[in-house]
Chains A and B, each alone.
Chain A
Amino acid sequence: MIIDGVEFDDGRELESQICIAGGGVAGIVLAIELSRIGISVVVIESGGETYEQRSQDLYAPAEVPPGGFPDPSYTRLRFLGGASNHWENNTSPFDPIDFEYRSWVANSGWPISFHDLASYYGKAGEYCGVGQDGYESFYWKKELGHKDLFENSSSLETGIAKAAIPATRFFEKYKALMQGSAVKVIINSNLVDVTFDPLSEQVTKAKFKTLEGNAFYVKAETFVLCMGGIENARMLRFLNRTYGDRLGNKTDLVGRYFMDHPTIRGALFYAHSPASFDFYRSNIRDGRNVLGFMKISDSALRKYQTNNIRMPFIEASNYAISDGISSHHIMADALSEGNIPDDLAKHLVNYVADFDMVLEAISRRAFGKKIFDHADQFGAFQLAMMIEQTPDPNNRIKLSDDLDELGIPKIEIEWKLSESDRDMVWRSLEIAGAGVAELGLGRLRSLRERQDRLFGDQMGFGHHHMGTTRMAENDRTGVVDINQKVFGTKNLYIAGSSVFSTGGHVPPTLTIVATTLRLVDHLAKESRYES
């Protein structure tokens, strides 16, 4: 049942066992699973069934984030299905090591282990449309009939990524399931307040408001915020203004440890036999795209004390990997700021030695014409690395004095990639370069000379917002406990990537679903206990 919140009389009160704020991936999975076990659920979504600019504008930050971090009002979607409405459906599970405390990764360590989540990944795969057949390279090499090039390596291994074709849009796919169940979905309604009783530590009521101005209330036994990696923190910080930081913010951690997955194409790989890399190219099986990627093995991560990192092989043309074009940009950027670039002589040599590609670039840009055939021919593999960012309390979501249309403070984002994380990338490439050479697969060239650009205007992002309401053992080190319950409360929970203690090296959605399924089990037990 889908109801538009504007239809409610102002001040109306609804009741449900569980109230879910946010109808994205986590909210939808939570609602379906809870209703299956007979728990009454209401899901309240800010947007509607499709994109609407007015609702989307509620995401807008107070100002464009500094440091090149992308404006999150463009990278998230505020309507049913959330970010799944534009995701690539790229799924992989986190590794066991991602959950561990690692002495060389500051603030690492989840209070739960991979083992606690492992049994949920299969069902999470079903929800994501990629099946339950797992991510083991030994299974997929047999299934696809390709060679695992790293199975004899001591430092490298093959990771598996799976994506559904077409991508799973969660609301579109599960709309009928939700409508056929006891789930009540209310759209165009925004959480603006809760009533919290400090004595019982219970949230008793939540207030929702539409952009048309009417407000309604939901009374429930349990409330779950499923609003997204940034919005969960935004709302919790806002609510804490009323309740003196009692909602999980005793030590001012709500919004901190904000992480994304920075991505850079930081290396070229010259394979002796590019044709042998079929395992690492697109493989279509049963409506899914399955492909391998290079990663550093668990033992090597420990031995060399580096963060996790994902390194897919991307076929690139001579034009795309041109040193001359890159040097041209580096020189132009520096000169435009009145500086002489480092290694000027080297860039000049690159420019001259690669002059045909520079000409090609000029021709394409100025005249829209290609000149050289070999410009589009295969040159090398680029390594499109997705970096595990070290959790840093100084990377954070803050509240601005600037308010949105509903009177909720807009966000300010403080984010940067630390020098040590950047150094870690080059260290990882050293390990990878040695690993591929040891196997006789070819030679890897790191592009550290280009690091200013790679970590500047060429740095990409996964747009995976994580860590802002991190899971921890206690309220001194995190915002939610091992069951995703907000510290200081008895019945307020959070689902989604904001609870991630570390971000791993793979896209988060599969793990969002897995952690949400685990939360379902917990809430089911709680519900039985209370009844």
Chain B
Amino acid sequence: MNLKLKKRDLLKGTALASFLSGKALASVGHQTVNIGLFGPKADHDALMKVLVPVWNKHMAVDPASYLKRLGLTHLSNKADFRKVSTQEYSQLRVVNVDGFILSYVDVARLILTLSKKS
């Protein structure tokens, strides 16, 4: 028996990793659900439930203000995000989100992007 079953893997790495690489922003939320319990919005919500507490635990400012302070005002400006995020990685300004080692810029961007989509 060889079943083809698509997986819900928003938090399992591939979707998150590709999102953060800037290559597949649109793929977030398009990971097909495997057992019918969750939909794309539920995926967003699940991810936000992981991201927001981590952010609040480590940061005293909201994600938008943090990005603005760094001169990052447009979510679509991938080059600037990449540049500043790279600086944070090089300075080990990182946080653990569900095991993923992410820069604060990446986390803030993820939160803002998902909150716009929800």
Contact = CB atoms under 8 A, between A and B. Distances in A.
Contacts of B14: 270, 380
B65 interface: no
A447 interface: yes
A438 B101 contact: no
Contact of B90 (A154, A369, A371, A445): A154
Contacts of A449: 99
Contacts of B12: 323, 353-354
A446 B17 contact: no
Interface stretch (B18-26, B53-61, B67-75): B18-26
Contacts of B98: 445
Given A430-B94, A434-B90, A434-B92, A353 B101 contact: no
Interface string A361-390: 000000001011110000110000000000
A343 to B, nearest CB: 11
Interface string A439-467: 01011111111000000000000000000
Given A352-B37, A433-B101, A437-B89, A374 B5 contact: yes
B79 interface: no
A493 B82 CA distance: 58
A488 interface: no
A438 B90 CA distance: 6
* Contact-residue size bin, chain A (C-beta under 8 Å from the other chain): 35 or more
B8 interface: yes
Contacts of A430: 92, 94, 96, 101
Contacts of B34: 353, 355-356
Interface in A405-447: 429-435, 437-438, 440, 442-447
Interface residues of B, number: 38
Contacts of A446: 96, 99, 101
A103 B35 CA distance: 53
Contacts of B90: 154-155, 434, 438
B101 A373 contact: no
Interface string A169-210: 000000000000000000000000000000000000000000
A272 interface: yes
Contacts of B16: 270, 443
A265 to B, nearest CB: 13
B86 interface: yes
A323 B2 CA distance: 22
Interface in A330-360: 349, 352-356
A268 interface: yes
Contacts of A443: 13, 16-17, 20-21, 100-102
B41 interface: no
A331 to B, nearest CB: 18
Nearest to B7: A356
A356 B102 contact: no
Most chain A CB atoms below 10 A, which of B9, B17, B20, B34: B17
B8 A440 contact: no
B21 A372 contact: no
A138 interface: no
A322 to B, nearest CB: 9
A304 interface: yes
B19 to A, nearest CB: 9
A437 B5 contact: no
A356 B8 CA distance: 10
B21 A440 contact: yes
Contacts of A267: 99
B11 to A, nearest CB: 8
Interface string B74-89: 0000000010011001
Contacts of A440: 21, 82, 86
Nearest to A266: B99
B4 interface: yes
Most central of A268, A437, A446 by chain B CB within 10 Å: A437
A356 B5 contact: yes
Nearest to A444: B101
B101 A437 contact: yes
Nearest to A363: B1
A337 B94 CA distance: 36
30 contacts: A155-B92, A267-B99, A272-B18, A349-B46, A352-B35, A353-B9, A353-B11, A353-B12, A353-B38, A355-B35, A369-B1, A373-B3, A373-B4, A374-B4, A374-B7, A379-B13, A433-B101, A434-B90, A434-B94, A434-B101, A435-B89, A437-B86, A437-B106, A440-B21, A443-B20, A443-B21, A445-B13, A446-B96, A448-B99, A449-B99
Given A272-B17, A352-B35, A437-B94, 10 more contacts: A155-B90, A371-B1, A372-B4, A433-B94, A435-B89, A437-B102, A443-B102, A445-B98, A446-B99, A448-B99
Interface of A: 154-155, 267-268, 270, 272, 304, 318, 323, 349, 352-356, 369, 371-374, 379-380, 429-435, 437-438, 440, 442-449
Q: Please list the 6 inter-chain residue pairs (A to B) with the smallest Cβ-Cβ separation, ordered nearest first.
A: A433-B101, A438-B89, A270-B17, A445-B99, A443-B17, A270-B13
